[in-house]
Amino acid sequence: MTHFLDIATTEPADLRGILDNALAMKRARAGRSKGAPDDDRPLDGRMVALIFEKPSTRTRISFDVGVRQMGGETMVLSGKDMQLGHGETIADTARVLSRYVDLIMIRTFEEATLQEMADYASVPVINGLTNRTHPCQIMADLLTFEEHRGPIAGRKVVWSGDGNNVCASFIQAAGQLGFDLTFTGPATLDPEAVFVEAARAKGATVTIERDPLKAVEGADLVVTDTWVSMHDPQSARERRHNQLRPYQVNERLMAAAKPDALFMHCLPAHRNEEATNAVMDGPHSVIFDEAENRLHAQKAVMRYCLGV
Ligand code: CP
Ligand code: NVA
C-alpha cells in the first residue's frame, strides 16, 4: 500500500518522481480549460473520498478538480457529518471506506487519526493536513520553487514565524532533498526538535536564528504562514501576535534576502499580519503559482499512490 503520509516517510526518489510528473502533467495541460480532462485519464473509473475535519478552500477544490481532470470521481465528506464524528472508530471507518472507494484523502487534527486510517485502510491514504504536518502543501511549494529557480538542492529556505505544521513539512523536505533551512521565530514557537534533528541526521543544515534580518541573509526563498493555525486555541491569539510581530515578512525583511529571493505563503493569509500586502502582491511573491501548483502536485501524488 503506497500511502502519502508525510515527506519524511516518502523516499527522496519518490518525491523527485512526483515533482517531475507534476511538472510534466502541468505542461501537458497548458492552455486547456480547467474542466477539460487529461488525455490519459489515469483515474478513469476510480472513486476518491475527500474527508475534512477542518475547513479548507485550496485542498478541497484542488483535489476535487485534480481527480476529475484525471477522469475519476470524488465525494467530499465533512468529518462531523459522518459517523466518524459520532464515535465510530477510525479503524472501522477506514475498513468500511475501503470497500467503497479507491483512495482516501483526510484533513484532520491528530496525526494519530491519519495513522490509524492508514493502518486499517486497504486503499492508499493521503495526508491533507494534520496539526503536525502538511506534506501536500510542501510538494506544491517545491514544484513552485523549481519552476521559477531550478533545483532546490543546496538552496537556502528561511521560515519566518510560527514553527507550525507547514514549517515541519518544509524541514522534512530539507532532509529529503538536501537544502538548507533556517527557522526564525520566538523560542516558544520553535518547530518540534524531533523534526529538526531528523533533517539534520539526513545531512541537511537546519539553523535556528532569532534575528530575522540575520536569518534571511542569502535566502533564496522566504516563507511564512498564519500566526494562529486552525488547531491553536483562539485564547492564544494575542500572545502569539505579540511574540510573532518581529517576524512579519515585510519589504525591509525581503530586502535583506537575495535580490531574486522568492516569497511563499500557503494561504489563507491574514494580510498585513504575518506578511504585508506589499510583499504578498510584490515582485518576490509567487503565492498564486503556489496555490495553483497544489492541483498539479496532488495529481502526481494520487498517481504515485495508485501506481497509475
Ligand atoms: N493551504 C491550504 O491548505 O489551504 P486550505 O486550508 O484552503 O486547504
Ligand atoms: N498552519 C495552517 C495551515 C493552513 C493551510 C493551519 O494549520 O491552520
Domain 134-288: state its class: alpha beta
Query: Does the beta carbon of 266 lie inside 6 Å of ligand 1?
Result: yes
Q: What spacing in Å lies between the alpha carbon of 296 and ligand 1's midpoint?
A: 15
The yes-or-no answer on residue 32 being catalytic is: no
Which pLDDT does position 79 carry in this prediction? 87
**All structural domains of the chain with their residue ranges:** 31-130, 134-288
Residue nearest to ligand 2 atom 6, measured at CA: 229
Over pLDDT 90: what percentage of the chain?
A: 97
62 marked among binding-site residues: no
Tell me how far apart the alpha carbons of residues 224 and 216 are, in angstroms, rounded to a whole number: 12
The yes-or-no answer on residue 284 being catalytic is: no
- Residue 27: other Cβ atoms inside 10 A: 10
Which pLDDT does position 80 carry in this prediction? 87
230 marked among binding-site residues: yes
Q: At what angle do helices 12-28 and 165-177 cross, to 10 degrees?
A: 100
For 31-130, CATH number? 3.40.50.1370
Residue nearest to ligand 2 atom 1, measured at CA: 229
DSSP category for residue 271: B
Of 302, 293, 299, the closest CA to residue 143 belongs to: 293
42 marked among binding-site residues: no
What is the tens place of the pLDDT at every residue in 24-73? Answer: 999 999 999 999 999 999 999 999 999 999 999 999 999 999 999 999 99
Tell me how far apart the alpha carbons of residues 183 and 136 are, in angstroms, rounded to a whole number: 20
Q: What angle do CA 231, 227, 144 make, to 5 degrees?
A: 95
Q: What spacing in Å lies between the alpha carbon of 136 and ligand 1's midpoint?
A: 10
Q: What spacing in Å lies between the alpha carbon of 268 and ligand 2's midpoint?
A: 8
Residue nearest to ligand 2 atom 3, measured at CA: 229
Which pLDDT does position 199 carry in this prediction? 98
Residue 265, classed as helix, strand or coil, is: strand
Give 294-306 as a DSSP string: HHHHHHHHHHHHH
Taking the CA of residue 62 as reference, the ligand 1 atom at the shortest distance is 8
The yes-or-no answer on residue 234 being catalytic is: no
Query: Does the beta carbon of 130 lie inside 6 Å of ligand 1?
Result: no
What is the tens place of the pLDDT at every residue in 208-246? Answer: 999 999 999 999 999 999 999 999 999 999 999 999 999
Grid cell 543544515 — which residue?
A: 205
Residues with CB under 6 A from ligand 2: 164-166, 225-226, 229-230, 266
Mean pLDDT over each residue of the chain, to the nearest integer: 97
Tell me how long the chain is. Answer: 308
What is the best residue among 229, 231, 237 to mutate for testing ligand 2's pocket, by most ligand atoms within 8 Å of CB? 229
32 marked among binding-site residues: no
Tell me how far apart the alpha carbons of residues 137 and 168 are, in angstroms, rounded to a whole number: 11
What is the tens place of the pLDDT at every residue in 181-211? Answer: 999 999 999 999 999 999 999 999 999 999 9
Tell me how far apart the alpha carbons of residues 6 and 78 are, in angstroms, rounded to a whole number: 22
